[in-house]
Structure 1
Amino acid sequence: MFQLEMLPACEGDCLILSWGDPAKPFRLLIDAGRDSTADAVQTYVERHGWPKGMFELFIITHIDRDHIEGAVKLLRDERFRPLVKGVWFNDRNDLDYAPPASKFEEYGALDGERLTQLIAKHGMASNVPFKPAPVAVERDQLRIVTLDGGLSLTVLSPDQQQLANLAKPWDDTLRDAPAGWEDYGEAEPIDIDFLASRPFKGDKAKPNGSSIAMVATFEGRSALLTGDAHVGRLLTSLELYKTLHPEHDRFALVKAAHHGSRGNVSLDLVRAVKCDRWAISTSGSQFKHPDREAIARIISGSPGPVGLFFNYDTTFTRYWRNPPKQAYAFTPEYGDEGYLTVDIPALP
């Protein structure tokens, strides 16, 4: 088996990648959404009997609250910590690998500090394959890590300059934090061509630029797990990846970056990944994702027919049930209150 499960993470991400024997699979946890998402993860592990070492790795991609908040709650739970064999998370010390550069999501750095303290306090194995470097692309060298069960992870983002750019806003947030922060807890047909052709303006948010993104490969099947990474970094790393893997043709699944934001999904990126199965994790709260332009770019730029996997059925995803004006083939699939399992198939 090789599959991606999306858990209800509000506007964020909480993903479980599973591979190997369906009766006893290996698992990888990526992000944990908002605070309430920790309950969904605990419900998931309860169904499996809280087995020690259930997750080969817990990757917290970056410090935006819709990715990190639930992780803080989980790692405070003495029942949960033994389920995790290792953690990947770039903390404040990792940002000093390049000169710092400066406003980002309030309290994101505070959750980063909380997570750093929890990892250190409980002696959890953190960023082990990369020490003393952060989890990052280093001088255009892609780092590859193989986990038990045969899953290979190739890191595409961030690079060290993107991490350095986060240092000053992280420090500014800590300096300005309040005392006691440590305890803070339509019906018309879709015009795809019009939407896809709207000018692309890339995301410049520093926390998103620091997001860990990777290629996960198992038995010849590759999934691109993007976090909230920037398009430019992904395109550069994908060129390096193709040099490393000249046999690589296309991806079996892509998790759309930044929940299908128009600033993180460009036509160039869609064409580069050559994938007809896209997973989109978001409830649409806060930022009304996914953006129509992003989904239109996926539909028009993919080899098609396209499968769209939305973990929530909302006003913003329901739109794609309408017939398009142009002759594009795509099929939307919706989760059950934020839960959706997507198989990662072998490519023909």
Structure 2
Amino acid sequence: MQWVLTAAVIVIGALTIRPMGLSGQGLAVALLYVVNSVALLARGLPVHRIPRRLALVWLTVGIVAAAALIGTSRSGTGYLFAFFLAGHLGYRLDTRSAVTLAGLCSLLCGGVLYFHLGPGHHSLPPVVGFVTGIPVLAGIVNRSQREAVQSAIEAAEAGERAARAEATSAVLAERGRIARDVHDVLAHSLAGINMQLELADALLDTGDLERVREANAKAHGLVKESLKQAQWTVHALREDALPLRESLASMLESSGHRDALTVTGTVREVPVQVTQGLLRIAQEALTNAARYAPGGQVRVELEFAAASTTLRVRNRPATRPVSAGTGSGMGLIGMRERVALLNGTVTAGPVTEGPDQGGWLVEAVIPG
């Protein structure tokens, strides 16, 4: 629409503004018409392409040329250049500069007609010149709307960037959760299976088939346990709701610790994230107990308090030789990460007194 109006003003001016020629007053009018046309066509340039100072100079020259065209031409629509340029002042410049130049436009155009500076005053009353600056108000309104739209676009883009950052953070958090689950299932289970298979391989050279069968049976048991753990991992990734007490009891039974669970407080349903976090902590503690304290009694306490849920896993010292080997170091880190995501606390360390002295205690407290 802007280009259509600009073209219309230029075409109508070419058809109506007189005199136009190649000499004398006609040449002056023609040159002023060209300057006004160029100044008006420059309205279509993007705001960010022209520096503010250059725009100020260009529009000032255009206004002076528009006033001069009104004075030098005997007839026609030369005054339209002044109106359209004044309107563009408010759109292109800040309010103070725009109003100042609009006032200058009104004074120049009105002065030319009022003081009869040129033949143009015969066809136009002075009031036409004095009101040429009024369209600046429309330009200011358009600029305000443009800035409001730009601010809305920038706010939307900022919101989109924030949403992308949040989504990226959620993806990274989910990757961390999956990494912890994979560690819980694979690192411990495969390490135990590998240990039993290495033992069976070493016993083959001794010809002790009974112990070979025993190691092989333990490896099979670990495979079955790994399958159960894999199922727990799938449930965790799918966020299926599992009953905490029943799942914990099943885990202890499958690990060979019957009647090791003690539950205190009023049993209640807890969020699935709390269930999965406590199950993984219990799994880690039981795996470490089997690795570093084989044969030692294990006791698990699940306490439901009014403001928290607490899990304690205690194991007594080993009663059988401990196989050589070291862990990955990720177990305790994984516990802390899980509990931190739930705004809880976890402690792990040796038991220094009581019937479990010399053993190990893991305690996780989840608020809520």
Same fold (TM over 0.5): no
Larger strand percent = 1
| Structure (1 or 2) with the larger CA radius of gyration | 2
- TM-score category of the 2 structures, normalised to the smaller one: under 0.3
Structure with more helix by fraction: 2
What TM-score, normalized to structure 2? 0.22
TM-score (norm 1): 0.23
